Amino acid sequence: MKTHKIAIMGFGTVGGGTYDILTENREYIRATRGLDIEVKTILDRSSAPLDARGIDKSVFCSDVDALAADSEISVVVETMGGVEPAKTFITKMLSSGKSVVTANKELLAKHWHELEPVAREHGAGLYFEASCVGGVPIIRAINESFQGDKVKSIYGIINGTTNYILSKMSAEGVGYAEALAAAQSLGYAEADPTSDVEGFDAAYKLSILASLAFHTCVPYGNIYREGITSVTASDIKHAKELGYAIKLLAIAKSGDDGVEARVHPCLVPIDHALSSVSGAFNAVYLNGDFVGDLMFYGAGAGAHPTGSAIVSDIVKALGGKHTYTDFQNTGKLSPDTKLIGDFTSGYYISLIVDDRPGVLSRISTMMGDLGISIKAATQGPDYEEKKGGANVVFLTHRAKEHAVMQAIEKIGTLAAVRKIESMIRVL
Ligand code: NDP
Ligand code: HSE
């Protein structure tokens, strides 16, 4: 049996996890797939990560050009992360006809349209199952399982760090800072947690998933994005009382009016399947016009779950029949795709107001004048009570985003309104 030689660029968490699977299950992959796969080269800044695992230094390489020139290697895994030098390194590998398997959602979301033509030109494959939702084979499902369906919507919990933080705040009543520190100590967050907590990571993944699902470019820059940094313990408590969990959702919808793509915290009804996705787990809830609702659930991060997705891509890349996107991958919104900014949603609005007669009716009149109908209102007894203030929470029926933004601006001008605490959309 021929031995297929591959390389790994970036030997950290995911690169190491990939190596574990390829070595521990080498015989199994030989027996079941008929492929003998050997990691011939590991490129990193230093050989320290190899030393830490007792791997012979002979596989270490720090010269990317030497790796690109090695004609024995047919597939290269990129698990370095970041845009540069990953983009340059991948371009070198594709240009020398090597297929690339990457977990790098940031690079894909920003430069997929530049990398794919290089792959096509050189007959190389570009595989990225691991870039979205870790070990969950969502990209394969979207690409290979809905040939007869139009995907209408995707609702995803696709960032493990934020889901861990929000779950911990909900289960233990702790504040955001304490929950973030725990997520960092457990290694869920990216090196710079801003990417996770401000929703960038989820927006990168949503851009990839929505583009594949809707067969059109949904550029990362066109995705509305809000992170979880302003979600408070009190929002989580109110939401719970009202029968909701707060999740960072990545939402994409495609319909006759165009495409919606947004990442923001969301109140999810407690009886919705997504509300039970806790901790660092991920889930994608997808609707196809004929298949109906499906939910994909599993570990969205971690060395071995993500490594598993990479190994499956390596096996696919070695199969040799590479496929590419079936839409014009220009990196720009297609002129025939309308992006819907004024979507409709339910809204949770939390205000600190003077606790005196007439305040609630003035606020609800303002909302009513803008076509916003209130579904529920509660007044917490615990906020600034001694100073004559109250925390009032409204839940609205579905309303237009722009109308709600306008209402919030107007409500903020009322003398009786001390503070607009939060506005969170409702699923
Ligand atoms: P790590 O930081 O653990 O590993 C990256 C490795 O690449 C490190 O050894 C790093 O060395 C090395 N590296 C970085 N830059 C260079 C360079 N210029 N030249 C040579 N080596 C370099 O990252 P992860 O494994 O966590 O993530 C890798 C990729 O996988 C990222 O794109 C990430 O978004 C993605 N991903 C990660 C998941 C996870 O669970 N961690 C899940 C899904 C995707 P040094 O440490 O010295 O910088
Ligand atoms: N930081 C990412 C997360 C890793 O928390 O989901 C997986 O992409």
Q: pLDDT tens across 104-130, in order? A: 999 999 999 999 999 999 999 999 999
Query: Hey, whose CA ends up nearest to atom 46 of ligand 1?
Result: 12
Mean pLDDT of the chain: 94
CB burial class (10 A; 0-12, 13-18, 19+) of residue 388? exposed
Query: pLDDT digits over 353-408, tens only?
Result: 998 889 989 999 999 999 999 999 888 655 555 567 889 999 999 999 999 999 99
Residue 205 annotated as catalytic: yes
Q: What is 122-170 written as a DSSP string?
A: TT--EE-GGGSSTTS-HHHHHHHH-TT--EEEEEEE--HHHHHHHHHHH
Q: Which helix (H) or strand (E) holds 78?
A: strand 73-78
CA nearest to 125, candidates 325, 424, 342:
325
Q: Is 360 left (phi over 0), alpha (psi -120 to 50) or beta?
A: alpha
Q: How many Cβ atoms are within 10 Å of 205's Cβ, its own excluded?
A: 28
Answer yes or no: is pLDDT of 17 > 90.
Answer: yes
Q: Which residues line ligand 2 (CB under 6 A)?
A: 134, 159-161, 188-190, 196, 201, 300-301
CA nearest to 142, candidates 208, 220, 78:
208
Give the pLDDT score at 190.
64
Q: Which residues line ligand 1 (CB under 6 A)?
A: 10-15, 43-45, 49, 79-81, 85, 103-105, 130, 134, 301-302, 306
User: Mean per-residue pLDDT for 263-288?
Assistant: 97
Answer yes or no: is pLDDT of 208 > 80.
Answer: yes
Answer yes or no: is pLDDT of 33 > 90.
Answer: yes
Give the pLDDT score at 191.
65
How many A from CA of 30 to the centre of ligand 2? 31
Of the residues 40, 110, 168, 205, only one is catalytic, namely: 205
Q: Which helix (H) or strand (E) holds 96?
A: none
Answer yes or no: is pLDDT of 291 > 80.
Answer: yes
Tokens representing 310 are 């990479």
Q: Which of 102, 164, 188 to mutate to test the pocket of ligand 2 (most atoms within 8 A of CB)?
A: 188
Percent of the chain with pLDDT over 70: 98
Answer yes or no: is pLDDT of 310 > 60.
Answer: yes
Answer yes or no: is pLDDT of 187 > 80.
Answer: no
Q: Which residues pair with 374 in a beta bridge?
A: 396
User: Mean per-residue pLDDT for 306-310?
Assistant: 97
Give the pLDDT score at 384.
57
**How big is the chain by its Cα radius of gyration, in Å?**
24
User: Mean per-residue pLDDT for 62-73?
Assistant: 98
How many A from CA of 424 to the centre of ligand 1? 33
Give the pLDDT score at 109.
98
Give the pLDDT score at 355.
87
